[in-house]
A and B are shown apart, each in its own frame.
Chain A
Amino acid sequence: MIVLARTLARLVGFLMCVVLALGGLLLAVFSIGTGTHGPSLGGLASLLSLHSVRHTVGDWLARVEAPGSVAVIAGVCGLGAIALGLVLIAGVLVPRRERLVQLAEDERGKLAARRRPLAQLATALVEPVRGVTEVRVRVRPSRRTGGRVSVRASRTANTDADEVRRAVAEQLDSLTDPFKLKARIDVPRRGARVE
């Protein structure tokens, strides 16, 4: 979603530059003469039929301002404009989500990791914890630095949840500290029955 917003913002930025440049050129050319004919500003207004635009906009404003029932189409247009505006603002201000979790960056280069191997490493670290029967890990890089690692470690019925959580966090330290990952650990009890 944010990739689309960023593309749209880039396109709008380019189009605005083109429109402003051409508009400036048009104004400069039509400032040569006077009156309402030929290359004059009055002539430009006639060419663009600004008088009919004035009436159209004036009528529309008068209708919307008049008391009465809610103007549905104007309301929908307003909502659409707000949504488009917010998309553009997000496209400019919100950074793209990193695909890599970064460890360090200096003049010597960057150290980073992809999400999947980090999740596999976390799984390998958590699996040996006593009482854990199944582990699922998801790594999500943040938009700035670091990210979040979500661990769902199912435990046996006779183990203490806090103890398992503490052990899992301890195991993950070697991964979460250097990569600035925030660990979110769930330790649900596995519903397996022994017969």
Chain B
Amino acid sequence: MPRQRLRERRSFLVLAGRLLALLVGLALAWYGLMALLLAVKVSAATTNSLSGYRTAYNWISGLTPADVDGSATRAIIAGAGVVSFLLFGYLAIKQLPRPYLARRELPLHSDPQGELRLEPRVMERLAEVAANGEAGITDARGRYSVDNLAVDVTVRRARNVAPTLKAAQDRVIGALAEHGLPSMPVNVTLSSYDRRQRRELR
């Protein structure tokens, strides 16, 4: 099992990009429908009353340089342009993915004399040994990353899977506390079933 994982840091401002994509999608669907209505010869007046496409076109095509040459108008347009540049530029930067390697050393202590760090494999082995101690589990594989400790387990019995997973999680959390390690979310995943012992008597 490759233990390293590439994760992505996400900003909540990604939602702004999603909102823009949603607006584009809605506009495309709506005006696509209007184009379809015009193509099948629904009257232009009806289509315009629904969408205002002709009104908007007439207004925009009627603009002349004199309409936008006033100093107040230009100041408003320039201000809106600058705000738009800053706002959407910042949002565009926030949309860019920022991947990082999630499996790294766990810093425990630091002072002028040195640092105390734990290799990720130590955490993983601790979790594996703790989870393997549960009776219903035949194998466990750990994967430590900066924000959680994932444990993939193999169970030997088809019954009581949920209590077995819960017990494995409790054991790993208990082992972390027992060794004085910082607590963190422990994600336990059922990854396989040991079919050699699958006989279930009813």
B-contacting residues of A (Cβ < 8 Å)? Answer: 9-10, 12-14, 16-18, 20-29, 31-32, 34-36, 40-42, 45, 54, 57-58, 61, 64-65, 67-68, 70-72, 74-75, 77-89, 91-93, 100, 103-104, 107-114, 116-118, 120-122, 124-125, 127-129, 171, 174-175, 178-179
Contacts and interface: CB of A to CB of B under 8 A. Distances in A.
Nearest to B48: A65
A22 B60 CA distance: 21
Contacts of A78: 32-39
B69 A40 contact: yes
The 10 closest A-B pairs by CB, nearest first: A24-B84, A81-B32, A13-B17, A88-B25, A85-B29, A42-B65, A85-B28, A28-B81, A78-B35, A78-B36
B107 interface: no
A191 B96 CA distance: 58
Nearest to B53: A61
Interface in B178-202: 185-193, 195, 198, 200-202
A100 B189 contact: yes
9 contacts: A17-B91, A21-B91, A24-B85, A25-B85, A27-B84, A28-B77, A103-B165, A124-B193, A124-B200
Given A9-B18, A35-B69, A81-B31, A108 B186 contact: yes
Given A117-B191, A120-B193, A129-B202, A77 B35 contact: yes
Chain A interface helix/strand/loop/mixed: helix
Contact of A124 (B22, B61, B85, B198): B198
Contacts of A17: 16-17, 20, 88-89, 91-92, 95
Contacts of A57: 57, 61
